[in-house]
Homo-oligomer: A and B are copies of this chain.
């Protein structure tokens, strides 16, 4: 809470870039994209406003770098689960997502939706879409893996499942942003996920 850290001075270029991006993601979740002002970034990073421009050509470029970094985090989460059983893995990821939402850890979801609502002319939304499409592909690949290992029915449409999984995640996100916390906390979102998973599980997995 508050401005992150009053950075030690004299970082190398890439260190500073990374630090600035972190500050931005923090600011995005607390103030929205429009609230990410150069003044706030500079204060958060502990440097002058002018110093920011030694590392990024413009505010827009800073925001673009933040989107990039955000999806790197997302990718980490997805690939970090080493649960071999795909059904369990999907359940874990879902649980992890619900946990993020209800814990108020605003490192992922909030920034993502703030970027989503960025002014059309910034192109941030398109950048987001491109990244998100990759994530959906990743999920589809996981489903295919499940089909190969026999935990998921062979006749399910992997892409379709990937989209519907995101339907659950987005519903959790949106409801959370609106302050409608009951959707996640009272287990409704978990039920929604389970209904989806049940419909794709191979027979031996059905519960």
Contacts and interface: CB of A to CB of B under 8 A. Distances in A.
A120 B30 contact: yes
Q: How large is the interface on A (under 10, 10 to 19, 20 to 34, 35 or more residues)?
A: 35 or more
A81 B174 CA distance: 26
Interface stretch (A14-22, A58-66, A70-78, A165-173): A165-173
Interface in A26-80: 30-35
Secondary structure class of chain A's binding surface, majority of residues: helix
Contacts of A119: 31-32, 34-35
Interface stretch (A83-91, A147-155, A176-184): A176-184
Contacts of A136: 180
Given A32-B120, A33-B117, A170-B171, 5 more contacts: A33-B34, A133-B180, A160-B188, A163-B189, A170-B170
